[in-house]
A and B are shown apart, each in its own frame.
Chain A
Amino acid sequence: MTEQTLRQWLLTDTPTSRRHAKLSAIYQGWLSFRGNTMAMIGLWILIALVAIAAFAPFISPHDPFVQDLGNRLGPLGTEGHILGTDSLGRDILSRLIYGSRITLYIVALVALIAPIAGLLVGTVSGYVGGWLDAVLMRITDIFLAFPRLVLALAFVAALGAGIENAVLAISLTAWPPYARIARAETLTIRSSDFISAIQLQGAGPMRIIIRHIWPLCISSLIVRVTLDMAGIILAAAGLGFLGLGAQPPSPEWGAMISEGRRFILDHWWVAAMPGLAIFTVSLAFNLLGDGLRDVLDPKAGE
């Protein structure tokens, strides 16, 4: 099959099988996503981030943990250290490259735990209603009433310091807003005719929630998650700064900023470079989130 006919096959108005229809829908989603330049920029930055994380040992010029006290706080463009060196003489570029792994790890774990927990609680609460709704939403309120970092601190103090526990603590504090969004969406969806129609086919609540409500909630949650990523990275950094997240030699971006904080006036690049990295990745997530919303919203582009 030549490329031209493959394209026609994907864009056909009259798909011949379920698989064909699905592939066609994905391809058309991709086409509309590709038309969004900003979203593509975000996607490319994140692909680059994944590639950098995967190939960190091959592309980093130095070992991120080797100290060179004779060459500490080297400015940008120092020979062999393009982004300078930090207070212990470690190469900042190498640390940023290795730090991308930690960032991705945090982002992936939080993005898996928090929205899924929130989706589950929110849709069940919104669809079932009654006392279950009241109980679940009061629990959500209790979580929302605490300042996020303080609650995360309490969790980490109970679970023990370390990046995994920091991620877990952040997830535990991050799910309530997702639950609220999912519940609000569910409340508008549950009274619509297409839910009544499937109820009239004898579908049970589990099937309705999973197959009919989730697909409509997920797009707004994905957008919210991508917008929250910056905050999640910073919360992880904040925990690291307090000695409860990533532990010192680890090249976590947030921890690097808090290290560089001491020299921010005289040696700005020590804090600015990891800050720039966080900024770039957060921006990429936001751009991607916007693009995804355009693709995932069924009413858009009509």
Chain B
Amino acid sequence: MLEIGKLNVWFGSGIDRVDAVKGASFAVPKGESFGLVGESGSGKSTILRAITGLAPHWSGRITVDGTELGKSRPKAFYNTVQMVFQDPYASLHPRHSVDQVLGETLHLHGFKDIDARVVKLLDDVGLGQKFRFRYPHQLSGGQRQRVAIARALAPEPQLLLLDEPTSALDVSVQAEILNLLVDLRRDRGLTYLMVSHDLSVVGHMCERLAVMKDGAIVEVMAVDTLRRNAAEHPYSQSLLQASL
């Protein structure tokens, strides 16, 4: 579904150049849930931004569903890949109601039966109809993140990029959102690429994971390896120790 080969991402140029991702390679088969873990600033989120085309400078190879991506993304790309952002307080337009957010998304993807689809999306993410015409400031963090998930699901993508979707939420709400994501993946056969600094979240959500440090992937392993506490690289081990 997704293949990343020798991906480099950098910001700025000359002496200001910062290499955020250095030579990262991994592959996510269709239907799998893959985790990217690492401390803040290790380049996890930058990989997601490079895949979506939001990072300005990158080199290497990104292949989605068999098509290699160039510098600009064709419109059809956004039907296949969607992203859920970290902070639900920042990812919804403060002046647009839930209906506007979902309606505009559906309109942009050329759907005709917008009303019916908005209703269905809200049901799918566990928000009722009463939330349809609310504005973001009338919603709680968890409700906002559900709206953001509904927006990402609107074009019926196959690959969902999750950028720490629960880290801005409080603990009880985190579990709800994670369970929602697990259910959605099962029902829709989605592929997930999930960024997190929380090993227990990744352990709950993913089948395999990559550990990142300073922009490079130090180890790719199955979640079972993580559970058995059998990580090989010393950095993975120390990360594991820190989270116990």
Contacts and interface: CB of A to CB of B under 8 A. Distances in A.
A200 B137 CA distance: 23
Interface stretch (A58-66, A145-153, A190-198, A267-275): A190-198
Interface residues of B, number: 34
Given A196-B54, A202-B108, A298 B95 contact: yes
Contacts, number: 75
Given A194-B92, A199-B54, A298-B94, A211 B104 contact: yes
B46 interface: no
B115 to A, nearest CB: 10
Interface in A160-198: 192-194, 196-198
Contacts of A200: 52, 54, 78, 82-83
Interface of B: 52-54, 75, 78, 82-83, 85-87, 90-95, 97, 99, 104-105, 108-109, 129-130, 132-135, 137-138, 148, 151, 154-155
B97 A193 contact: no
A20 interface: yes
A243 interface: no
B108 A14 contact: no
A192 B95 CA distance: 14
Interface in A186-235: 192-194, 196-203, 211-212, 215-216
B45 to A, nearest CB: 11
B130 A13 contact: yes
B163 to A, nearest CB: 9
A233 B83 CA distance: 50
A192 B99 contact: no
A25 interface: yes
Most-contacted residue by chain A among B52, B93, B132 (CB, 10 A): B93
Contacts of B93: 194, 198, 212
A201 B109 contact: yes
A222 to B, nearest CB: 14
Interface of A: 13-18, 20-21, 24-25, 192-194, 196-203, 211-212, 215-216, 298-299, 302
A299 B94 contact: yes
Nearest to B137: A302
Contacts of B130: 13-14
Contacts of B154: 201
A189 to B, nearest CB: 10
Given A20-B133, A21-B99, A211-B104, A202 B78 contact: yes
Nearest to B73: A202
A302 B151 CA distance: 25
10 contacts: A13-B138, A24-B133, A193-B85, A196-B91, A197-B151, A200-B83, A201-B78, A201-B105, A201-B154, A215-B95
A287 B36 CA distance: 53
Contacts of B129: 14
A9 B116 CA distance: 24
A18 B133 contact: yes
Nearest to A301: B137
B182 to A, nearest CB: 23
B135 A25 contact: yes
A203 B106 CA distance: 11
A190 to B, nearest CB: 12
Nearest to A213: B93
A295 to B, nearest CB: 13
A169 to B, nearest CB: 34
A193 to B, nearest CB: 4
Contacts of A16: 133
A66 B92 CA distance: 62
